[in-house]
Structure 1
Amino acid sequence: MSILDHDCFGKVARRYTMLIDVGYLYAAAAELLLQASSRREYKVDAENLITTLIERAAQHLPDGELLRVYWFDAARDRVPTVDQRVIAPMEFVKVRLGNLNSRGQQKGVDAMIRTDLEQLARHRAIQEAILLAGDEDMVPAVEIAQAYGVRVHVWGVEPPYGTNQAERLVWEADTTDTITAEFCRPYFTKIGTAAEAAAKIVGAPIAAPTPPQPSPASVFGQRHSVAVTMSAAQALEEAEQARPSFVRSRNGERLDQETVTSIGEYVAHKWILTRGRENIADLLPGPTLPTVIDKELLVEAEKELGYSLRDHPGARIWVRDGFWERVNREFDIER
């Protein structure tokens, strides 16, 4: 047994993991807090939510050692969304993606949760597991994990009424706990309309909302999407055709604003084609990008330029400007 498995007093630390069914967590919390039934109707501060869940687990199992958090979500064709790409680099967090079909239904997520729980138990990687889920399909995996000596703690989200977890899942748990509305509230926010997003960009006053109104993602998602009608290879080929041509100065030190801006536009164009308009719509209203996405944008721009932008803050701004010019043009948002 590794020295890492003992605390300073020589006591064996019981290693645990957290397995979180994001579809259940988000849907239950959104219904409880916002009366929302679609993920397009709200935003989640997932980074801080995960951090707080980890802190809660440490309080629940004070003598334990966290192995990692498994974050089970879904994405269309398993292409990560903006939010999922932001979560993926977090320490001790493993993002697992199932498929999201055309009707918004998750496929393969439950199977991944069951497999990971069973494998972790079978290989003695954990002694405790916190399972945040509600589906009865989890019961066989819970029973198998328990047969290997793992204690399974089932967490659920406070239901607005009745119950939102399968009765058998609750029965099989070693312990249960409830995440309350007060716990979830800081991390869930109802998003505005397309008109509000555009108004925010141009600085115009926002008219009082008249519910019900569609969210930006739902408005954009209903419009024709090139990514849906072509294969990934075709999308990349079309993006390749849009790559700007340019010639840098001989000494390679001067960066032309028009050139750099065009590179930002090209990256935006490629992302729209390959990642889909709906995912790019999640970046609106802008103009600030999540740190992880901003870094990806700059890295791709540097690859296209063959030139580091580390010492050129002005050029980095030009790249971002070009990116937003293309995105705003895609969604008919005037600046």
Structure 2
Amino acid sequence: MRSTCSLYVDAGYLLASAATRVTGTSLRGGIHVEYPPLIRTLIDTAETLSGLPALRVHWYDSARNGVPDTQQERIGELSKVKLRLGRFGVNGEQKGVDLRMGLDLVAHARNGASDVFFLVSGDDDLAEAVEEAQVHGIQVVLLAVPTLAGKPHGVSRHLIRAADELDSIDGAAIDAAVLKVDRKPEPEPEHALITPQPTPRPAPHQVVAAAPRPAVRTPLDLASTISP
């Protein structure tokens, strides 16, 4: 059987670390990922470092009820990619991903699937599985996403001690495949048009007719009213 290398990719770690590098936050919603070139970068990195052809990329991610969405189905259809899905917990956290990765590392090591395993993860919980794989003569190399300063992002020190080697994925290749999403500000709600009402004019003052002045009687008038 020919010598090969295999990759085990924690998509949660890879995408969160890449998002942090590109946008400053780990939210997946802030990035657009070109998966074929990103996965090609992982394969090229593993083959260059090991000098061996890649047997397969095992891609671990979470899905609602373990059912792949459209993007995950497309990833699983890529050449040399094996989709391995956990599920989401009540609070949206990954469930079953680390367990699947650990079990696969040990089982594949026992079966001698490849000579070198490349692990793209930073989770401390995988340290025991790494050490068990090494018992079966497998070399385990960590592949980390580099920060802008060139340091490995989010990799447990315990996991680093357990692995045989720590290397980084090419930062420029990550920047080319993981793009920041520029979110447009939401439009302000349109206010209902209010028809201006005419300003009421004050009622005109009523003109009160002046009371007639009493007629002024002269002595001649008084004399005419006296009967003879």
TM more than 0.5: yes
State the identity as a percent: 33
Q: Give, in angstroms, the shift of residue 189 of structure 1.
A: 1.8
Assess if the C-alpha contact under 8 Å between 2:142 and 2:166 holds in 1: yes
Any residues of structure 2 matched to 1:291-330 within 5 Å, and which?
Answer: none
Cα distance in structure 2, aligned partners of 1:21 and 1:35: 20
User: How many residue pairs are counted as aligned between the two chains?
Assistant: 184
Correspondences of 1:103-122 after superposition (within 5 Å): 103-122=91-110
Q: Name 1:45's counterpart in structure 2.
A: 34
Match of 1:219 in 2: none
Contact 1:129 1:153 in 2 (8 A): yes
Distance 2:50 2:89 in 1: 37
SS at match of 2:155: coil
Q: 2:135 aligns with which of 133, 147, 157?
A: 147
CA RMSD, Structure 1 to Structure 2 (Å): 1.8
Bigger fraction of residues in helix: 1
2:75 equivalent in structure 1: 87
Higher strand share: 2
Q: Describe how 1:60-71 pairs up with structure 2 within 5 A.
A: 60-62=49-51, 64-71=52-59
1:16 counterpart letter in structure 2:
C
Is the counterpart of residue 175 in structure 1 residue 161 in structure 2? no
Match of 1:230? none
Alignment pair present for 1:129 and 2:117 = yes
Equivalent position amino acid for 2:12 in 1: G
Deviation at 1:177, TM superposition (A): 0.3
Aligned to 1:58: 47
Shift of 1:164: 1.0
Q: Distance in 2 between matches of 1:189 and 1:159?
A: 15
**Secondary structure of 1:87's match?**
helix
Q: Is the 8 A contact 2:59 2:82 kept in 1?
A: yes
Question: What are structure 2's unaligned runs of at least 5 residues?
Answer: 187-228
Distance 1:175 1:169 in 2: 10
Q: Which has the larger radius of gyration?
A: 2
Question: In structure 1, what residue type is equivalent to 2:21?
Answer: L
Change (3 A) 1:66 1:37: closer
Equivalent-residue separation in structure 1 for 2:72 and 2:19 (angstroms): 18
Return the TM-score normalized by structure 2: 0.75
Q: Tell me which residue corresponds to 1:188.
A: 178
The CA distance in 1 between the partners of 2:181 and 2:100, in whole Å, is 30
The answer to whether the 8 Å contact 1:36/1:42 transfers is no
Secondary structure of 2:5's counterpart equals strand
> Counterpart of 2:23?
34
Q: 2:7·2:58 contact (CA, 8 Å) conserved in 1?
A: yes
Counterpart mapping for 1:181-330 below 5 A: 181-193=171-183, 209-210=184-185
Deviation at 1:191, TM superposition (A): 2.7
Contact 1:33-1:181 within 8 A present in 2 as well: no
